[in-house]
Structure 1
Amino acid sequence: MELKDEVEFCFPQLLNISCRKPRLHWTKAFFLNTVLSIISIITVVLNLLVIIAVSHFRQLHSPTNIILLSLAVSDFLVGLLLLPLEIYRNTSCWFLGEIMCAVYYYLACYIPYTSIGNIILISVDRYVAICQPLHYPTRITTVRVKTCVCLCWLCYGLYSLYSIIYIKDQIHRLFEPGKHDLCFGQCSVTFTYVTGVADLILTFVLPVTVIVVLYMKIFVVIVNQARSMRSHVKCAAFQHPVTLKAKKSELKAARTLGVLVLTYLLCYCPSYCSVFVGMDILSVYLLIVLFYFNSCLNPVIYTLFYSWFRKAVKIIITLQILKPDSRETNML
């Protein structure tokens, strides 16, 4: 009974099989939950603006923006679903049951995996645009990009089914506490070392390798083009002003999306590397905050680097988007 006074249980009437409530100091928990809640709201609002802008304005229906739209949808779902559930899971006992626990872990796999797939598509798009510009109009078409985006969501959805099958096995154990030294009131999964390493390779190491290799090639081409443009800028500006403007536009897009990819790596790397390092609950929670913070940063990057996004936000906020001919607004 002394233990009962010192420790709070999820199910006080079932002390032998009840989990303890999460033990994070209330000041730290309040601060982290407040920060995570603010990030969640900002993520939902900013990514919703991206979704509305790219979907509504006809001039923004380019192959690159379609991929950005897909990325914004996955980031929007992070803010709308994953962040609130993460706050609940880490600060309260899990009273939503076995099915919702399985659904949560499925979404926690599926949505970030899809974001990784979108980042790969962005890298491929920029690689073709910068390194093979003559083939870009024929190879990167709107139809092909839409098909690739759909396949990205489908393939990662199927891959996540493997995770959910494994997770279902693990979660089922949570509801048999007497047999497996587990308890009621938790929604957590313990992956084996082999499974964790395999997932790390398939969902992080390989995608990051592809992204880094593509952007290294893009960087080399950008450096060479920049030198060429500096040495012939006056002649090119006089003889081919349109071509020069197009090149500058492509280089700017590559740099912008390069910042987006770098931000993704900085936010995701610590979380994946933590698989091999034991950490306390506060450190893990901070890494989760950093992991999901990437979904909030992406639309901020658009705001800083894309004038069309700033213009679209102004039109949306001032409700000019409700005008009948707003779809045809010149955004570029």
Structure 2
Amino acid sequence: MQSPNTDQLVPEGNIFVVSLSVADLVVALYPYPLVLTAIVHDDWTMGDTHCQASGFIMGISVIGSIFNIMAIAINRYCYICHSLNYDRLFSLRNTCCYLGLTWIFTAIATVPNFFVGSLQYDPRIYSCTFAQTVSSYYTISVVIIHFLIPLLVVSYCYLRIWVRVIQVKHRAKPEQRAKLKPSDVRNFLTMFMVFVLFAVCWAPLNLIGLAVAINPARVAPNIPQWLFVTSYFMAYFNSCLNAIIYGLLNQNFRKEYKTIVLALCIPRLLLVETSRCATEGLKSKPSAAVTNNIIAEINV
């Protein structure tokens, strides 16, 4: 008898993964089409209202991605390092509350841009976005709250998870080494890579912003245009990379990607696959006792 797939045992934690995907996709619905229009006309021709709205939605997407990555890290940390309390901390109701708070904090962190007047059109990148030179204090606050603090929180969570994984894999008794399920390690590695790519892609733009905020008059004019443009598009390309990482490191995502591609080519296969998955899901759904035992095993 095959052991249950623990990828299906933490649906509450996967809510944050779906939320991260939404944050990555939202820019494609409104800001990116306006950016393409600006590129075609070599100028912003949509007016100030669309400029402010585009910049706001772009900010919601960016900050929402960062905060969701932080929520995922905290969720994985609790699941692996505090598994006995996981069901209580991340019940479906609590998880929905955490998700709501994540997006509330995202909105609160984005709204001040309207009061500072930092959402402006930048012809270098054909986008209405956060202007780093408007206010030094605000730019420093943005870098600290939107990048450095999440970076520290996520680093702490994944460091503790790494320590936990190493401790479990080097137990003296061979029968205890298998307690940490391979799917748990794959899940962790997937989200860890998402975090690493986030840090690599966003670090240059944030470091430039920090340097500009410290001495705007001297630093801002001396930053090469190619460096700013490269750092900017590196940051926003991060949203595209997440889906690639899911597909490369997670078997379930690869399977679903294949299903979607086949469904696009042969639509009738979508109905067949959906019916088959629903039937298999009912047959293979683990009991509550099995679920609790597997989660508890990680903490042995």
2:10 counterpart of 1:66: no
Determine the C-alpha separation between the residues in 2 that align with 1:61 and 1:79: 29
Determine the C-alpha separation between the residues in 2 that align with 1:225 and 1:196: 43
2:30 counterpart of 1:81: yes
SS, match of residue 201 in structure 1: helix
Deviation string 1:214-255 (CA, Å, 9 cap, x unpaired) is 112112112111212xx423x348xxxxxx365332222212
2:152 counterpart of 1:199: no
Name the counterpart of 1:322.
271
Which of 84, 100, 110 is equivalent to 1:134? Answer: 84
Deviation string 1:14-45 (CA, Å, 9 cap, x unpaired) is xxxxxxxxxxxxxxxxxxxxxxxxxxxxxxxx
Which of 190, 196, 205 is equivalent to 1:271? Answer: 205
Alignment gaps of 5+ in structure 2: 1-7, 213-219, 264-268, 285-300
Native 8 Å contact 1:83 1:292 kept in 2 = no
TM-fit CA distance, 1:123? 0.5
Runs ≥4 residues deviating over 6 A: none
- Give 1:147's aligned amino acid: C
Give the TM-score of the pair, scaled to structure 1. Answer: 0.68
TM-fit CA distance, 1:88? 4.5
Alpha carbons of 1:87 and 1:329: their partners in 2 closer, same or farther (altered >3 Å)? farther
2:166 counterpart of 1:232: no
Determine the C-alpha separation between the residues in 2 that align with 1:61 and 1:93: 47
Determine the C-alpha separation between the residues in 2 that align with 1:158 and 1:89: 28
Deviation string 1:91-141 (CA, Å, 9 cap, x unpaired) is 721111111111122112111000011001111011111111222222222
- Give 2:187's aligned amino acid: A
Name the counterpart of 2:156.
213
Name the counterpart of 2:186.
252
Name the counterpart of 1:106.
56
Give the TM-score of the pair, scaled to structure 2. Answer: 0.75
Alpha carbons of 1:202 and 1:270: their partners in 2 closer, same or farther (altered >3 Å)? same
- Give 2:191's aligned amino acid: L
Alpha carbons of 1:193 and 1:236: their partners in 2 closer, same or farther (altered >3 Å)? closer
SS, match of residue 43 in structure 2: coil
Name the counterpart of 2:247.
303
Where relative contact order (Cα < 8 A, 6+ residues apart) is larger, the structure is 1
- Give 2:232's aligned amino acid: I
What RMSD in Å do the two structures reach over aligned CA positions? 2.7
SS, match of residue 229 in structure 2: helix
SS, match of residue 125 in structure 1: helix
SS, match of residue 270 in structure 1: helix
Native 8 Å contact 2:168 2:180 kept in 1 = no
TM-fit CA distance, 1:162? 1.5
SS, match of residue 129 in structure 1: helix
Alignment: residue pair count: 252
Alpha carbons of 1:316 and 1:195: their partners in 2 closer, same or farther (altered >3 Å)? same
Worse-matched range after superposition: 320-329 or 106-115: 320-329
Determine the C-alpha separation between the residues in 2 that align with 1:60 and 1:314: 23
- Give 1:322's aligned amino acid: L
Alignment gaps of 5+ in structure 1: 1-58, 175-184, 238-243
SS, match of residue 318 in structure 1: helix
Name the counterpart of 1:51.
none
- Give 2:205's aligned amino acid: S
Alpha carbons of 1:266 and 1:73: their partners in 2 closer, same or farther (altered >3 Å)? same
Worse-matched range after superposition: 266-275 or 79-88: 79-88
Determine the C-alpha separation between the residues in 2 that align with 1:270 and 1:152: 25
**Identity over aligned pairs, percent:** 24
Determine the C-alpha separation between the residues in 2 that align with 1:218 and 1:61: 16
Q: Say which one has the larger Rg.
A: 1
Determine the C-alpha separation between the residues in 2 that align with 1:94 and 1:300: 32
TM-fit CA distance, 1:329? 5.5
Native 8 Å contact 1:93 1:186 kept in 2 = no
